Amino acid sequence: MTDFIASACPYCGEGVEIDIDRSGGSRQRFVQDCPVCCQPWEVEVTRDSDDDWEVMLRTADE
Ligand SMILES: [Zn+2]
């Protein structure tokens, strides 16, 4: 099962939606390109104890 979480691109600031895999682990990291500016994000998805998902987007060159 997948879901989407709204976030913002760390490069161009555009609002974006991250596709998360709810059947995966409570902490997932992957690289995905921004659909707006095509820069690579380092995406970290975490699930907290309330079963809420949170997305962090970082620039991959940090
Ligand atoms: Zn962008």
Mean pLDDT by runs of 10 across the 62 residues of the chain is 89 95 90 96 94 92 68
Instruction: Tell me how far the alpha carbon of residue 61 lies from the centroid of ligand 1, in angstroms.
Output: 14
Number of domains in the chain: 1
Domain range spanning residue 33?
A: 2-59
The predicted pLDDT at position 24 comes to 86
25 within 8 A of 10, measured Cβ to Cβ: no
How many angstroms from the chain centroid is the CA of residue 20?
A: 7
Beta bridge pairs of residue 42: 31, 58
Provide the CA 60 distance to its chain's centre, in angstroms: 12
Neighbours of ion ligand 1 (CB under 5 A): 9, 11-12, 34, 36-37
C-beta of residue 18 within 8 angstroms of C-beta of residue 4? yes
Helix or strand (DSSP H, E) at 19: strand 15-21
CA 19 – ligand 1 centroid, Å: 16
pTM, 2 dp: 0.84
